Amino acid sequence: MRSLRIAHRVILAVPVALGVAVLAFFSLHLLPGDPVQIMLGDTDASAATIRAVQHELHLDRPLHVQLALFFAQLARGDLGTSIVQRRPVAALIGDALPATIELTAAALVIAIVIAVPMGLAGALRPRSWFDRAVLSTSLLGASMPAFWFGLLLILFVAVDARLLPTSGQIDPTIAVPRVTGFVLIDGVLARNAAAVGSALRHLVLPALTLGVVVAAVLARTVRASMIEVLQRRYVTTARAKGLPETAVVVKHALRNALIPALTVIGLQIGELLGGNMIVETVFAWPGLGRLVVNSIFARDYLVVQAAVMLYAVTYVAANLAVDVAYTMLDPQVEAT
């Protein structure tokens, strides 16, 4: 029953991804601006040359033909070639994705480290001044405009105090052989302490900028569900049996209270992957978000289509993963 539902959801992801690609295709092609003209900038070129290039790139075909060409390519497992960068779209995304995943993972780690203790502490003494403080602080985090917070961090931490670098992913003079594409992991694999240190230092500010908002959402969820769980019958029973409070909280309550937190984390992964283009722009982070923004501005259609499809699949997958994890952690869900 459960596996049937999962299979159903997996199959459902395909039309969603394709539909999103179609949506991206039309919304991009409706935008004013032609990639060849944009690419040329102020280089002089004759109308004939421009027409020839547009023809070679199929940009002069009717929209439905271009769409059909895209799907034909897709059916062969080919995402096409970037108009601007002249490289296969798959390779471009493959290069940018690890940076984005690294940033997202770091942001989640920061969020969890901040949020879970905060939420638990608040839940153990509901309505206390500390609990109030937790709630207010988390609202502050949720209200933070990320781009502005990032700028402030750059100004005070990087520019004024010069504690951390302003932008980029690693000191460019450090060479790390590319194995996995994840700078941190590659640094560890190469046993290059300088590379790992530099990568970590570059990671702090953008990850903090992203992580604060997630932490805010997460802290509230952890607190709320912990309060609810602590009132459940089995917790009360455990308490009545005279188990020490720590054991009650850790053994019985925590596991169940973390389920909704897991939901939030899963859903935030989707949000983060799609939403960190501003943070990537502020910190010149060489990730997917910046690639997409630049590709929209350059009308590099195929890159945007592929990236949006990837976002859609991630989104569906994150939802699905949350659902599966849910049923595994909490058998009651299946029963209801």
Nearer to other proteins, 76 or 86 (CB): 86
Q: Is 249 in the site for other proteins (CB under 8 A)?
A: no
Q: Which of residues 208-237 bind other proteins (CB under 8 A)?
A: 217, 220-221, 224-225, 227-229
* Nearest distance from C-beta of residue 187 to other proteins, angstroms: 15
Which window, 38-46, 62-70, 108-116, 240-248, contacts other proteins (CB under 8 A)? 38-46
Which window, 113-121, 189-197, 241-249, 308-316, contacts other proteins (CB under 8 A)? 308-316
* Nearest distance from C-beta of residue 271 to other proteins, angstroms: 7
SS3 labels along the chain: CHHHHHHHHHHHHHHHHHHHHHHHHHHHHHCCCCHHHHHHCCCCCCHHHHHHHHHHCCCCCCHHHHHHHHHHHHHCCCCCECCCCCCEHHHHHHHHHHHHHHHHHHHHHHHHHHHHHHHHHHHHCCCCHHHHHHHHHHHHHHHCCHHHHHHHHHHHHHHHCCCCCCCCCCCCCCCCCCCCCCHHHHHHHCCCHHHHHHHHHHHHHHHHHHHHHHHHHHHHHHHHHHHHHHCCHHHHHHHHCCCCHHHHHHHHHHHHHHHHHHHHHHHHHHHHHHHCHHHHHHCCCCCHHHHHHHHHHHCCHHHHHHHHHHHHHHHHHHHHHHHHHHHHHCHHHHHC
Nearer to other proteins, 196 or 296 (CB): 296
Alpha-carbon distance 112 to 262, whole Å?
10
Q: Is 40 in the site for other proteins (CB under 8 A)?
A: yes
Q: Which of residues 266-305 bind other proteins (CB under 8 A)?
A: 267, 270-271, 273-275, 277-278, 281-282, 284, 286, 290-294, 296-299, 304
* Nearest distance from C-beta of residue 164 to other proteins, angstroms: 10
Beta carbons within 8 Å of 247's beta carbon, 6+ residues apart: 238
Which window, 62-70, 132-140, 185-193, 235-243, contacts other proteins (CB under 8 A)? 132-140
Torsional sign, CA 313, 319, 325, 331: negative
Total number of residues that touch other proteins (CB under 8 A): 115
Q: Which of residues 41-100 bind other proteins (CB under 8 A)?
A: 41-47, 49-50, 52-53, 56-57, 84-88, 95-96
Q: Is 11 in the site for other proteins (CB under 8 A)?
A: no
Nearer to other proteins, 196 or 316 (CB): 316
Q: Is 206 in the site for other proteins (CB under 8 A)?
A: no
Nearer to other proteins, 246 or 332 (CB): 332
- Token pair for 335: 């029963």
Nearer to other proteins, 29 or 244 (CB): 29
* Nearest distance from C-beta of residue 64 to other proteins, angstroms: 19
Q: Which of residues 161-200 bind other proteins (CB under 8 A)?
A: 162, 165-169, 171-173, 175
2, 33, 65, 234: residue in contact with other proteins (rule CB under 8 A): 33
Q: Is 147 in the site for other proteins (CB under 8 A)?
A: yes
Nearer to other proteins, 110 or 266 (CB): 266
Burial 257-285 (b: 16+ CB within 10 A, else e): bbbbbbbbbbebbbbbbbbbbbbbbbbeb
* Nearest distance from C-beta of residue 296 to other proteins, angstroms: 6
